[in-house]
Amino acid sequence: MATYKKRGYKPKAVKEKAETIEGLEEESTTAEVFNTLDESANKAEDFVAKNQKGIFIIIGVAALIMLGYLGYKKFIAEPKADEAMNEMYSAQKSFDEAVAGANKDSLYTLALNGVGGKLGLTDIVDQYGSTPAGNLANYYAGMAYLNLKDYTNAVKYLGDFSTNDAVLGPIAKGGMGDAFVQLNQLPEALEYYEKAITASTNDYTTPMYLLKAANVAQSLGNNAKALEYYKRIKAEFDTSDQAKNIDIFIGRSEAKN
């Protein structure tokens, strides 16, 4: 029997067959990826549909929190801060007069307790403690108590004062150190003098608290630390008042080492 061969027919080479198979596999993989994406999208849509109420509640709560914060800041916090600053005027005036003039004790007392129906520093702290003026009132109250020799309250109020100011920060820490010296708590005094030193470096507070820290360290028997602080005054603040007799302090400290 004769064998019929179709004209033009040519068997595919092995390479062509492999390419065809690979093409089919790629099409199959691509289809699977799109099917997976479709399934994921459908699942996400189903989740949103089923939990739509809960999602809207969460969004609503977040919006209310934000609006509440903005409202609190504008209608409560800011007016309260302004009110506190107005209350501070009279107390701060008494404090400034005490620093500058005579009758210091009575003026510091007026600053603390108030005068003419105006709040004193302690009341401002109690009522406006969360405001900038309330925070500043802690500083003034602490320094007033320090001058009135009420060292326990001085530590309390100065300890509640917080600031990044290059002068007020060290003075507040140093004031606590002064109070602890008077309370005969020398380790605590040294700790706060050192905090005053590290709070800011300037020509006013730094040499002052270096000398106080050195003297307390000397009293505690820590001559090495005392000598370190004396020498720093001589090296870095030689024009300060604290440097006038610094060689005497250095000599005494070296003799004890």
Does the pLDDT value for residue 66 go beyond 80? no
Can you tell me the distance from the alpha carbon of 145 to that of 172, in angstroms, rounded to the nearest whole number? 12
Helical (H) or strand (E) element with 124: helix 121-128
- The per-residue pLDDT for 244 is 94
Choose between 56 and 185: higher pLDDT.
185
For the entire predicted model, the pTM comes to 0.70
Can you tell me the distance from the alpha carbon of 85 to that of 133, in angstroms, rounded to the nearest whole number? 5
* Residue 102, burial from CB neighbour count under 10 angstroms (0-12, 13-18, 19+): exposed
- The per-residue pLDDT for 16 is 46
Can you tell me the distance from the alpha carbon of 82 to that of 84, in angstroms, rounded to the nearest whole number? 5
Decide: 140 and 91 in contact? Cβ < 8 Å.
Answer: yes
- The per-residue pLDDT for 6 is 43
Can you tell me the distance from the alpha carbon of 13 to that of 27, in angstroms, rounded to the nearest whole number? 21
Decide: 211 and 198 in contact? Cβ < 8 Å.
Answer: no
- The per-residue pLDDT for 115 is 85
Q: 144, 176, 181, 150: which is closest to 162 by C-alpha?
A: 176
Decide: 237 and 218 in contact? Cβ < 8 Å.
Answer: no
Q: Model confidence at 177, in pLDDT bands (50, 70, 90)?
A: very high
Can you tell me the distance from the alpha carbon of 140 to that of 138, in angstroms, rounded to the nearest whole number? 6
Read off the pLDDT of residues 3-50 as tens digits, 9 standing for 90 and up: 444 444 444 444 444 444 444 444 455 545 445 545 555 555 554 455
Cα-based distances in Å from 67 to 56, 59, 73, 75, 196: 16, 12, 10, 12, 41
Read off the pLDDT of residues 71-107 as tens digits, 9 standing for 90 and up: 434 434 466 777 878 888 899 999 999 999 888 999 9
Read off the pLDDT of residues 180-230 as tens digits, 9 standing for 90 and up: 999 999 999 999 999 999 999 999 999 999 999 999 999 999 999 999 999
Residue 154: CB atoms within 10 Å: 25
